[in-house]
Amino acid sequence: MPRVFKKRRLTAGAAIIVASTMALTACGGGDEGEDGGDSKAAGYNAAIGKIANPSKKKGGTLKFVAKQDLDYADPQRMYFGMSWDFSRYYARTLVTYDTKPGEAGNKLVPDMAEDMAKVSEDGKTYTYKLRDGLTWEDGSKLTSEDIKYGISRIWDKDVITGGPGYLRSTLDPKEEYKGPYKDKNLDNLKSIETPDDQTIVFKLPKPNGDFEQMLAMPTGAPVKAAKDTRAKYDQKPFSNGPYKFESRHVNKSITLVRNKAWKKSSDPIRPALPNKITVAINKNLEENDKRLMAGDYHIDMNGTGMTQSGRTTAIQDHRDSVDNMQTDFIRYVALVTKTKPLDNVNCRKAVFYATDFAALQQTRGGKLVAGEIANSPYPKSIPGNDDYDPYGVLERKGKPDEAKAKAELKKCGKPNGFETVITARNDNPGEEDAAEAMQEQLGKVGIKLEIATFSGQDSSNMSGSLEKVKKEGYGMVMTGWGPDFPSGQGYGQPLWDSRFIQKTGNYNEAQINDKSIDKAFDDAIATTDPAEAKKIYTDLGHKILDEAYWMPFLYEKNISWRSPNATNVYSTAGYSGRYDYVMLGVK
């Protein structure tokens, strides 16, 4: 790891990198969708911005189907958005996202904590009081010590791999603590204090306006030390929520049943409607769509939207059971600033002008399925998104401006264009097609693209490997990204902060090395004033566009199935537009 950078960033970066393999699929692979659910004739988009089939009826079995299993069931190791959504059934956190449709779902509310944190004047101390009646599935009392122990696990990067490292890098940037397996004395984790069973205090070396967001991630969930089976904990996490694991067969199935020890009085969030929750993992996506429509399952746990054939049938025959939801994913092309001639800003701008955004949208399935043309590098749910459009993309309705593209090429010293390589993932639906479309578009102004493809799983050591990028001369990386948590930091830092550049598993694919951007992140993180943070992130976004580092092209949408028999279905911004799983019930 490059030690020259500021320590805090460094560790945050490392944390993200550790999670890289999984995160890659979680973020990059993600056509994350908000599935809207709706019962008989609940209607098209009935779960967008409102609740479809509101109900308090308890009982029944809620059946999920999924192509992909949870990355991990262990709360400290999971990084997939769907896993975070799902984890609320059995892993509670101090604070969590509000159970409200749409953007309101981004708001944090207390969960195990009685109230939001009492933050000290200097913004460095966060104090929580726990609610009464918190229990584990064996009926034992859940204490603040359990929360500290759970969080402490992420310090052991050998065993607890996969999850985000924000808490670790924020609380202990120097990584003085070694984790509970190598150092059993939790007192050595000095930044978390548990003065009594009901109180937990976090002491940050520096203020961080997003700190509570980090605690809302499942990394902040408690683990009972006596029940911690380390790597094997993933098989069957010990529950403190309304449901517990009856069985988990990796890549096959999950069955959750009611946790009798859980007390409703201790939990203002979860209605716990179904008696049982099952997840069937089935690799055949088209088949899954058919069986969703046949009523064999209620909801697709992956929340990545239906297949092309599935959504065609669904929209035609069952329009009222379909939601077209905005995800907080952005499809983009990173322009690699270390690959010639894209080191020249004018050459990069030429790409912006030459790209036919409307055609890319069409290639990926049109406005309904692919989403609207993006002008901002931030998703609409992230503070910092605005209508800044320096290249007039929206103005031209996504059409290219070849004249301006040629002018920029001239300025760049390549009046006849240039040749470079664009990468695309062959297992992401539509990405290869989009790359081919770009190849054709840019060809019109003389920019000749060669397309390199690989699987999403390999991308961390293809487009994510500095050495590979250099060797193969990758100039553009086409992929997608969604926020870890809804802030400029949780979304953009891995993408644009130079201190996040890693030899492999690199997500700053453009290799942006701009001190003003790094500083903007530091300033935004340090402030506790959301308005100020928003201003900084907005300016940062403009900078990204002005320098033409990184070219967003779509605010992704998808088409999701919502079973008519599922109740309380709504899409929440808290989980990238997915349905709020913990609220679901069945008729």
Partner 1 sequence: MLAYLIRRIIAVIMMVLVVLLTTFSIFYLLPKWSGQDLAVVYAGKGTSPEALEGIRNKLGLDEPVLAQFWEFVKGIPMGRDYANGADDVTHCDAPCLGYSFRTETSVWDALTSALPVTGALALGACIMWLVGGVAVGVLSALKRGSFWDRTAMIGALSGVSMPIFFTGMIMMGVFVHSLGLLKLDDELTSSDSIGVWFETLLLPWIALAFLQAAMYARLTRATMLEVMGEDYIRTARSKGLGEQAVIIRHALRSTMTPILTVFGLDLGVLMGGAILTEQTFGLKGIGYEAVNAVGSKDLPVILGVTLIAALAIAVANLVVDIMYAVIDPRVRLG
Residues 483-542 that bind partner 1 (CB under 8 A): 502, 504-505
DSSP 428-484: STTHHHHHHHHHHHHHTTT-EEEEEEE-GGGGGGTTT-HHHHHHHTEEEEEEEE--S
CB–CB of 205/124 below 8 Å?
Answer: yes
Closest CA to 108 of 95, 119, 99: 95
Rule CB under 8 A: say whether 253 interacts with partner 1.
yes
Distance of alpha carbon 477 from alpha carbon 452, whole angstroms: 9
Stretch that binds partner 1, among 106-114, 280-288, 353-361, 561-569 (CB under 8 A): 280-288
Rule CB under 8 A: say whether 21 interacts with partner 1.
yes
Considering only residues 294, 387, 515, 531, which one is a binding residue for partner 1 as defined by CB under 8 A?
A: 294
Least distance from partner 1 to the Cβ atom of residue 20, Å: 4
Considering only residues 5, 44, 181, 454, which one is a binding residue for partner 1 as defined by CB under 8 A?
A: 181
Bridge-based pairing of strands 419-425 and 448-454 is parallel
Rule CB under 8 A: say whether 22 interacts with partner 1.
yes
Distance of alpha carbon 478 from alpha carbon 491, whole angstroms: 17
Bridge-based pairing of strands 276-281 and 299-300 is unpaired
Least distance from partner 1 to the Cβ atom of residue 500, Å: 12
Considering only residues 460, 479, 563, 571, which one is a binding residue for partner 1 as defined by CB under 8 A?
A: 460
Stretch that binds partner 1, among 101-109, 146-154, 459-467, 518-526 (CB under 8 A): 459-467
* Helix 345-354, helix 402-412: angle, nearest 10: 170
Distance of alpha carbon 85 from alpha carbon 217, whole angstroms: 10
Least distance from partner 1 to the Cβ atom of residue 336, Å: 19
Rule CB under 8 A: say whether 283 interacts with partner 1.
yes
Stretch that binds partner 1, among 114-122, 232-240, 301-309, 514-522 (CB under 8 A): 232-240
Rule CB under 8 A: say whether 251 interacts with partner 1.
yes
**Nearest residue (CB) to partner 1, 68 versus 420:** 68
Considering only residues 50, 124, 157, 399, which one is a binding residue for partner 1 as defined by CB under 8 A?
A: 157
Cis peptide preceding 75, ω within 30 of 0: no
Residues 194-223 that bind partner 1 (CB under 8 A): none
Q: Is the CA virtual torsion 238, 244, 248, 254 positive or negative? A: negative
**Nearest residue (CB) to partner 1, 159 versus 424:** 159
Rule CB under 8 A: say whether 403 interacts with partner 1.
no
Query: Which residues have C-beta within 8 Å of that of residue 192, sequence separation ≥ 6?
Result: 148, 151, 152, 171, 200, 201, 202, 203
Q: How far apart are the first and last CA of the chain?
A: 53
Least distance from partner 1 to the Cβ atom of residue 398, Å: 35
User: CA 214, 218, 220: angle at the middle one, nearest 5?
Assistant: 55
Count of residues binding partner 1 (CB under 8 A)?
39
Least distance from partner 1 to the Cβ atom of residue 88, Å: 22
Residue whose structure tokens are 């590979």: 468
Rule CB under 8 A: say whether 249 interacts with partner 1.
yes
Rule CB under 8 A: say whether 250 interacts with partner 1.
yes
Considering only residues 57, 107, 174, 182, which one is a binding residue for partner 1 as defined by CB under 8 A?
A: 182
Stretch that binds partner 1, among 11-19, 121-129, 434-442, 467-475 (CB under 8 A): 11-19
Rule CB under 8 A: say whether 141 interacts with partner 1.
no
Helix boundaries (H) for 307-430:
308-317, 345-354, 357-363, 366-370, 402-412
Considering only residues 11, 20, 45, 321, which one is a binding residue for partner 1 as defined by CB under 8 A?
A: 20
Considering only residues 125, 439, 457, 513, which one is a binding residue for partner 1 as defined by CB under 8 A?
A: 457
CB–CB of 210/138 below 8 Å?
Answer: no
Rule CB under 8 A: say whether 309 interacts with partner 1.
no
Distance of alpha carbon 501 from alpha carbon 511, whole angstroms: 7
Least distance from partner 1 to the Cβ atom of residue 4, Å: 18
Distance of alpha carbon 289 from alpha carbon 293, whole angstroms: 6
Sheet hosting strand 243-249, strand order edge to edge: 243-249, 253-258, 276-281, 61-66, 299-300
Considering only residues 2, 7, 284, 413, which one is a binding residue for partner 1 as defined by CB under 8 A?
A: 284
Distance of alpha carbon 293 from alpha carbon 261, whole angstroms: 35
Instruction: Write out the residues near partner 1 by the rule CB under 8 A.
Output: 1, 14, 17-18, 20-22, 157-159, 161, 181-182, 230-232, 234-235, 249-253, 278, 280, 282-284, 287, 290, 294, 296, 457, 460-461, 464, 502, 504-505
